[in-house]
Amino acid sequence: MARALHHPEAEQLDLSAILDALSDPVRRGIVLRLAELGEGRCSAFLDMGSKTNLTYHLARLRESGLVHVRIEGTSRILSLRREELEARFPSLLPTILDSARREAAAAG
């Protein structure tokens, strides 16, 4: 396992990358759950895809700057980078998550 994980700086957050990350339903599902749980390890999302597939999506979320990943023993703990996102793109994440919940509620 890699020792140090790369995370983009707060000032480098890129709107295209963020929207692209959130345009995938699996990734949006992960972010949504993370918003509810506060944080969670990879295995908390196994119902959304295979381990390999999650590794892929989680890397994309991390590289886009949406989530922070901290290593703890053999686990990786994910959390949303809420404040940094809010500082750079106010209301963006909450609004998109609200839309996602709304769509889910509409039995889409």
Exactly one of 43, 53, 55, 99 binds its own copies (CB under 8 A); which one?
99
Asked if 51 interacts with DNA (CB under 7 A), we say: yes
What is the rounded CA–CA span in Å between residue 34 and residue 107?
21
Nearest-approach distance from CB 34 to DNA, in angstroms: 13
Nearest-approach distance from CB 43 to DNA, in angstroms: 3
What are the residue ranges of helices labelled H in 1-108? 15-22, 25-37, 51-64, 82-88, 92-105
When the beta carbons of 64 and 93 are compared against DNA, the nearer one is 64
86 interface partner picked from its own copies, DNA, none, CB below 5 to 8 A per type: none
Amino acid sitting at position 33: R
* Contact region with DNA (CB under 7 A), list: 6-14, 30-38, 69-77, 95-103: 69-77
Query: From residue 19, how far is each of 2, 33, 45, 47, 77 by CA, in Å?
Result: 27, 18, 21, 23, 23
